[in-house]
Structure 1
């Protein structure tokens, strides 16, 4: 038993001596960690804000026939581009051709009646002067002439109407654009002003509608009023960034009291047909101009509950925790409203190596990001 106790005490003593020897001179502490730092700078910047919008066609037509009849022919490929004036449907024209011939006959008869009445009224004037006919008979012939003139006008109108109805048997595209599928096919009856034949939408340019909250609109009102058509950038689902450019051509005249938003409309070219009505779109619009904006890499901003802060490196290469007030994001950068001054150095990479404020580090200078005068905002 005494031998076992002696062995345990000997082991404890060895451990204690080993711990004491670790603090001997010659044992070096680990060097400070290397971190990447960037210098804070400022400059004139236009802040942009992102919105979600919906693509819409400037012109949308529900194509319905103006005359009734059976469809003889469908003259378009479904989903194809058509030009204004192209014949899309043909209604059986034979009943309307017959109506035109009847109207032509009525017109010829009316002209003949008018010619006879004018001759009668002319002779009546001479006979009245020689007192060969009564005044009553003269008035009767003048009335017959005027009635024949009215009948001729009615016959001309009837012919014009018949010719219009005959023209309407060719259902033409009222606008240029992309046509949908044929909802009525050959052999089916189409009722005038009732049967929907197909739909047609214009394709170039396109509209993008989006809504801004009241505060953003108020902040950007001065900037928006500088030009009649502020520039915007637009991106679609599956696209990186905002590759399309457009311009705002309409701002609603009042805010929506239910949502607290105001509607904007942007016009964008659609030469390649990539925009389709009903698509969602991402829209960036300028909202503010800042003369001296401080922008830093967003990866440098840390969060402690609802407070944001960064680590700066002083002239002694010691870290300091600095609270900041962050504004909108600008791509990979973020606007700092307060807390930093140009020329200060902040840690942008290697933050996980900093365990406490005041920790020494080895700074390695890197570029914050290539600064440009106009940058993109992704929201507050």
Structure 2
């Protein structure tokens, strides 16, 4: 009993410490092993299709479209300015006081209509003076001619010096010149009187008046009386890249004037249609563009000078093409491709060569045939060989796009047998569910401003 109550020795204390440390190590190993086993057997045996981010339960829901035969309109978009064929500042050709204005601001005026009346009384008085001078000089001429006849008769009888006859002949010529001058002055004054009636030189829309009744006007006034702008027809000037000039000129020579559509500043509403057959004779070296001018009848008067418009030029229409919705065309590292839906419900990454596009549809030059089905939405987690089911509603995964991600996964970016393609972009349409279609690099095979390569 005395021995059990004695304090332990130093070697016994060291052995007890080693036992505690060993037990701690065993406990940590057991806990770690249990957690690893639970993580492996508890989560690792769920049946999945695919690996990594492609794991999915069952077939993937997608939307599809059928490749069809159709035509693509090759267009070019540009910014234009409405330019009238003629704009005239109507000025007075004489000096005087405005007695009356014969037009209303904003009124359509016909060529020849009187628009203002200038005080003509000073010119009428001048006309009377000149007419009196003409009468006087005409009498003087008649007297000189009578004297000349008398002198010529006396000269035949040698009763007068020949010098006197010669002087009288020169005097008659001088009087004739004086009469002619008087007549010219009368015509000039009569012309000035006609200028007191200011008339419109062309048919057009009158602007705001620049003078009021009682104003004194001269021919040197810069503002004039009113500005008249020809409204029908109207033209629109716009510039196109020099790379597109050859194709446009070729189409004009082959098909005649090209069709042009105008839209408003917001590019929402169509406001006019016309034709293009006029262009400048040299390219602007500072911008690398060529100026063109389209004609519009403007019967409804919706086009106004200096108005900003969006121009769509129809260069040509390419027929008999295989076309698909533009959102069906994907862009991978090796070029453009589509997800082709097979008869067994699996998708196949199919490289394609694209042609022209009108924005909503894209032509497929090779790699696809009319009647084949392609995926248009729900491509976020697709890859070669995945099972899909076609639905009429937007796939669930389409509502959660990956920002800046590439479409179709790593294998879709490198289709087997694919060829290099050009990068194309297009505006993503709404999928009809109120949510935007998935992000990613889709392909719009040809820029509308270039028209593509049919």
What corresponds to 1:94 in structure 2? Answer: 121
Match of 1:213 among 241, 248, 254: 241
Count of residue pairs brought into register by the alignment: 362
> Which consecutive unaligned segments of at least 5 residues does structure 1 have?
1-9, 24-28, 366-376
Following superposition of structure 1 onto structure 2, how do residues 22-37 of structure 1 map, counting pairs within 5 Å? Answer: 32-37=59-64
Q: Give CA deviations for 1:287-323 in whole Å, capped at 9, x if unaligned.
A: 3454554432123234558955432212332122344
Is residue 2:194 matched to residue 1:167? yes
Please give the secondary structure, in 2, of the residue aligned with 1:225: helix
Greater radius of gyration (CA)? 2
Q: Give CA deviations for 1:329-356 in whole Å, capped at 9, x if unaligned.
A: 415223445554444322234445x543
What corresponds to 1:314 in structure 2? Answer: 342
The alpha-carbon deviation at position 358 of structure 1 amounts to 2.3
What corresponds to 1:274 in structure 2? Answer: 302
Is residue 2:449 matched to residue 1:379? yes
* Structure 2 CA distance for partners of 1:336 and 1:13, relative to 1, 3 Å: closer
Please give the secondary structure, in 2, of the residue aligned with 1:358: coil
What corresponds to 1:298 in structure 2? Answer: 326
What corresponds to 1:134 in structure 2? Answer: 161
Following superposition of structure 1 onto structure 2, how do residues 221-240 of structure 1 map, counting pairs within 5 Å? Answer: 221-237=249-265, 240=268
Please give the secondary structure, in 2, of the residue aligned with 1:226: helix
Match of 2:386 among 344, 359, 370: 359
* Structure 2 CA distance for partners of 1:250 and 1:16, relative to 1, 3 Å: closer
What corresponds to 1:119 in structure 2? Answer: 146
Q: Write the distance in 2 (CA, Å) between the matches of 1:118 and 1:271.
A: 66
What corresponds to 1:149 in structure 2? Answer: 176
Q: 1:223, 1:289 within 8 Å by CA — same for their partners in 2?
A: no
Q: Write the distance in 1 (CA, Å) between the matches of 2:137 and 2:362.
A: 84
* Structure 2 CA distance for partners of 1:42 and 1:110, relative to 1, 3 Å: farther
* Structure 2 CA distance for partners of 1:195 and 1:104, relative to 1, 3 Å: farther
Greater shift in the superposed pair: 38-47 or 104-113? 38-47
What corresponds to 1:248 in structure 2? Answer: 276
Match of 1:334 among 362, 367, 381: 362
* Structure 2 CA distance for partners of 1:184 and 1:310, relative to 1, 3 Å: same
> Per chain length, whose mean CA-contact separation is higher, i.e. which structure has more relative contact order (CA < 8 Å, sep 6+)?
1
* Structure 2 CA distance for partners of 1:214 and 1:22, relative to 1, 3 Å: closer
CA RMSD of aligned residues (A): 3.5
TM-score (normalised: structure 1): 0.81
* Structure 2 CA distance for partners of 1:210 and 1:13, relative to 1, 3 Å: closer
